[in-house]
Amino acid sequence: MKKHGILNSDISRVLSCMGHTDTIAVGDCGLPVPDETERIDLALTLGRPGFMEVLKAVSGDMKVEKIVLAEEIKEKNPVILSEIKELFQDAETGFSVEFVSHEELKKQTKKCKAVIRTGETTPYANIILQSGCIFS
């Protein structure tokens, strides 16, 4: 039995298969998942598990060099945006944040290795994590 990190076998498998610049998304329960992208559905009930709970677990088990957020989160969900900024405040040099339209973020999920669906019900609680390299 696995002792540390993500216990969910699907998330663990996807993270293990990711290489430098590959992406994975964590989204609220309303984020559409393209047919060609793997869906890892964690949603149990409205609000559970929450977006930040899942994001903390996933980002803690991978090297993140870039995040992509919807521009709309700035106005429509400043609380989650603040929590995201706090989570990544100590990111290493070279870390970047990109804001795109919500429509563009949804398009970018087509290239993600997977989209993890949470039970989150607040607007624009969606993020794409780009994998960094764990060696130099």
Fold of 20-131: RbsD-like fold (3.40.1650)
Residue 12 has pLDDT above 90, yes or no: yes
Handedness of CA 75, 80, 84, 86 (dihedral sign): positive
Residues annotated as part of the active site:
20
Q: Does 22 carry a binding-site annotation?
A: no
- What is the mean predicted confidence (pLDDT) over 56-85? 98
Give the pLDDT mean for 71-88. 98
Is residue 134 within 8 A of residue 65, CB to CB? The reply is no
How much is the pTM?
0.97
Return the domain boundaries, the chain: 20-131
Does the annotation place 114 within a ligand binding site? no
Provide the mean pLDDT of the chain: 97
125 is known to lie in a ligand binding site: yes
Distance CA 13, CA 7 (A): 10
Indicate whether 2 pLDDT > 90: no
pLDDT of 20 reads 97
φ, ψ for residue 117, nearest 5 deg: -95, 125
